[in-house]
Amino acid sequence: MTKQHLLWWVKAVIHLLALTPITLNYYWSITDQNGADPVKAIIHFTGIGALNLLIITLMVSLIAKYFKKAWFMQTRRLIGLYCFFYAATHVLNFWWFELNFQFTLFIEELVKRPYIWLGMSGFVILFVLAVTSPFFAKRKLGKNWQLVHNWIYPASLLVWIHFYWSRKADITEPLIYLLIILSLLWFKRDKIGRWLKPNTRT
C-alpha cells in the first residue's frame, strides 16, 4: 500500500470516528435516550469533543515525528476542522436549546458567566484557524500563516479554562486534561518561545 493510499484510509477512519459519535448523540437526544437531560448531554458532548480533537490536533506533529511518519502530518488539517465543527455545534447547541436563539440573552450570559466569554474567545481563534486552513489561504498568508496558526496554543488553554470553570465541583477530569495540554505545550516550548519572541525566529 502506498503512502497516498494509507493516508486516504486514515482520513476515512477520521471521518468515521468524528461523525458517528455526534450523529448518534443527536439521535439519542432527539429520541430522549441521552440521559435525564438530553440538552445538557449534547452540549457537554460537543464541548468535550472539541477539546479532545484540539488535543489530538496538537499531538499530530509529535506522533508524526516520533514514528517517523511525515505523511501523517497531512491529517492535522482535517482533525483541526473537525475540532472547529464540534466547537461550532457546541456554541450552536447552547444558543439554540438553552437560549432559543435570543441574541440579547446570549450577551447577558457572556456578561454574567465569565467562563462563557473565555470559551467564546477560544472559539473565535478556532474560527480564524478554520477559515485560514485551506491551501489557498496558506499561500496567500505566506510566512504569516504559521504565526496565525500558532494561536492554537493559547486557544487550548482558553478552552481548558472554559471546561474547568463549567465543571464547578468536579476537578479530577479537568486536571487530567490540564496535565495533557501542559505536557504537549512543553514539548512545543521551543516553537512557542520563538513565536512569543519574534527576534529569536529563524
Query: Which pLDDT band, with edges at 50, 70 and 90, does 202 fall under?
Result: very low
Percent of the chain with pLDDT over 90: 69
What amino acid is encoded at 20 in this protein? T
Return the pLDDT at 108: 86
pLDDT the model gives residue 200? 52
Whether pTM > 0.85 for this model: the answer is: yes
Phi, psi (degrees; rounded to nearest 5) at 33: -120, 20
Which residue type, as a one-letter code, is found at position 19?
L
Q: What's the structural domain count of the chain?
A: 1
Check residue 123 and give left, alpha or beta (phi > 0: left; psi -120 to 50: alpha).
alpha
Domain that holds residue 188: 3-200
Q: What pLDDT, on a 0 to 100 scale, did the predictor assign at position 82? A: 98
Helix ranges, 31-75 (H): 38-66
Looking at residue 167, its pLDDT comes to 79
